[in-house]
Amino acid sequence: METVSKPAAAARVLAVRPVGTTAVLAELSGLHDVLALQALLLEQPLPGQVDVLAAAETVMVKADSPAAARRMAARLLEMDLTVRSHAEGKLVLIETVYDGDDLAEVGRLTGLGVDGVIAAHTGQVWTVAFGGFAPGFSYMVGANQVLEVPRRSSPRTAVPAGSVALAGNYSAVYPRKSPGGWQLIGRTAAPMWDLGREQPALAAPGDRVQFRAVRELIEVAQPQAGAAASEASAAQEPDVRSGLRILSPGLQSLIQDLGRPGHAGLGVSSAGALDRSSLRRANRIVGNDPSAAVVESVAGGLRVQAVGDQVLAVAGAPSALTVVTPSDVPDSDAPDVEGDQSERVREVPMATAFALLDGEILTIGAPELGFRSYLAIRGGAAADAVLGSRSTDTMSGIGPAPLAAGQLLGAGAATSSNVVGNPELQPEFPDTGVTVLDIVPGPRDDWFDAAALESLCAQEWAVTPRSNRVGMRLDGEPLRRSRDGELPSEGTMAGALQIPPEGQPVLFLADHPITGGYPVVAVVVDHQLDLAAQIPIGGFIRFRWAPGYGLPTSLTDSSPEISQTK
């Protein structure tokens, strides 16, 4: 799918760029037209439309299939955007202590000094233009641009919750601890996101914000956020009579389903299982609904004990599955032998339904290949839904808490069949060698010259230990941009290859930020995201341009001899 454009016109979409295989990015002349297009798409969805995300100068539209995404380009260019008046929102006061790590640097970049930055930030009313990045993260536009500063050359892996920040001509407050590349100038105790409120976001698009400088913050005890708290407590209810007791969660074990699409406007990513096909396979084998919640576990080490007799299946990364029957658990199939107190041990196969009787213990060993395992319990893992999903979003903190030792995880009633399924074959899983992933150019490949684009596909990128469900941080020969300046924040998606100024790519996964300000050079094709999720730490990735989607313009112009085959 190629970029489609037309001559600039008032109240029209200026151009449409592909974003991978299942989304498009509409470019507009300014925020007024962005809000108008967003309103039209929400009132009159396009065929196949799944989600809409407005940003500074763009609107990203996600589709349910590659075919629907291809049809959207022409439809968007034809839309007549009617300018709509927007009612003035409420005024929100945010008390702030100005002691951020980047305050002095912002003073230097703007020439205002520390006191001047504080005066400029508190001396104007900010308007929330749009949401994104994370739930409760609001992009605020000031009355002037004296505080316009670039993002950091390398994003922080963790920004503290409540950090007040600047980037470009925007200000924002980080609602929770998360990665981020904005300049930090202060901190606040204001709860920016709370699912217990009717409007979870403290400052919604259209609202006005006034920052007020204070010497210290008064910490107000807040209840755990709405449904997330109820899920965490429900998962640990002491009266669970049928399910699994978590003896050891391993490195990380989370409740996941197929995610919560459709809430990008709130700053909420889809989340859900990283390897969707393995989740579906495990559910299918135990007779569950395809979207039933399961346990996603990383790198083995998960140990669970049956509370009541259970039917389980494990799919995903091939691992040794060991079942231990403690000596005090009767075995109806074994003859009684007086004085025999030894434990009974058996191995069970992957991708096959098996019984875990009351008191028996299952251990998932370290993967032989791949990285993530999916444990399905017949009936599904019991957890309350948040925004329509039981998945844990590690970026936003929405959904059940990570599983902990001693926790009781109940079995639900999400079955689709009275019988279990047959054993299934699994696909090949990656090892620590090289895995090839197909990518589609853009939407911002034009920020890189032919040499950088050739380098992207010519080298093997190492998957670093800093990788997680938000994104895979890669290491290799840095990619150099051919443009200076900052890209206005725009929507992004799982599979996007974002390139910070330092040049090391970040491959976004399911818990990625909703918007970003670094250019996305390419997007992994949707059907290979399951494969990408199974590449272990220490593995390598080689990218290649996906056949049928064309090469970036700079490569087509300068290197016509480049082949699209492996």
Contact between 496 and 505 (Cβ < 8 Å): no
Kindly indicate the confidence band of residue 551, based on its pLDDT and cuts at 50, 70 and 90.
confident
Instruction: Quick: pLDDT tens for 99-153.
Output: 999 999 999 999 999 999 999 999 999 988 888 777 888 889 888 889 999 988 8
- Tell me, what's the pLDDT at 229? 41
Q: At the topology level of CATH, where does 434-558 sit?
A: Cyclophilin (2.40.100)
Instruction: Quick: pLDDT tens for 481-538.
Output: 998 877 888 889 999 999 998 999 999 999 998 888 889 999 999 999 999 999 999 9
Contact between 159 and 513 (Cβ < 8 Å): no
pLDDT above 70: residue 160: yes
Share of the chain above pLDDT 70, in %: 89
Contact between 377 and 311 (Cβ < 8 Å): yes
pLDDT, mean over the chain: 87
Amino acid present at 261: P
2-11, 134-143, 185-194, 372-381: least confidently modelled range: 2-11
- Tell me, what's the pLDDT at 341? 52
Instruction: Tell which CATH classification among 3.90.380.10, 3.30.2290.10, 3.40.50.300, 2.40.100.10 matches the domain 91-213.
Output: 2.40.100.10
- Determine the average pLDDT of the residues in 220-230: 45
- Tell me, what's the pLDDT at 320? 97
Instruction: Quick: pLDDT tens for 199-208.
Output: 788 988 778 9
Instruction: Quick: pLDDT tens for 65-91.
Output: 999 999 999 899 999 887 555 556 799
- Determine the average pLDDT of the residues in 249-256: 96
- Tell me, what's the pLDDT at 331? 56
Contact between 200 and 136 (Cβ < 8 Å): yes
Dig out the tokens for 371 from the structure. 């990285």
- Tell me, what's the pLDDT at 418? 80
Residue with the larger pLDDT of the pair 245 and 220: 245
- Determine the average pLDDT of the residues in 223-228: 43
Contact between 447 and 519 (Cβ < 8 Å): yes
Helix (H, G, I), strand (E, B) or coil at 144: coil
Confirm whether 91-213 and 434-558 share one CATH topology.
yes
Indicate the domain borders of the chain.
4-78, 91-213, 226-332+339-410, 434-558
Q: Which residue has the tokens 């084998």?
A: 285
- Determine the average pLDDT of the residues in 324-331: 75
Kindly indicate the confidence band of residue 562, based on its pLDDT and cuts at 50, 70 and 90.
very low
Domain 4-78 class? Answer: alpha beta
pLDDT above 90: residue 292: yes
Taking residue 474's Cβ as centre, other Cβ atoms within 10 Å add up to: 21
Kindly indicate the confidence band of residue 190, based on its pLDDT and cuts at 50, 70 and 90.
very high
For 41, residues 6+ apart whose C-beta sits below 8 A from its C-beta are 49, 52, 59, 61
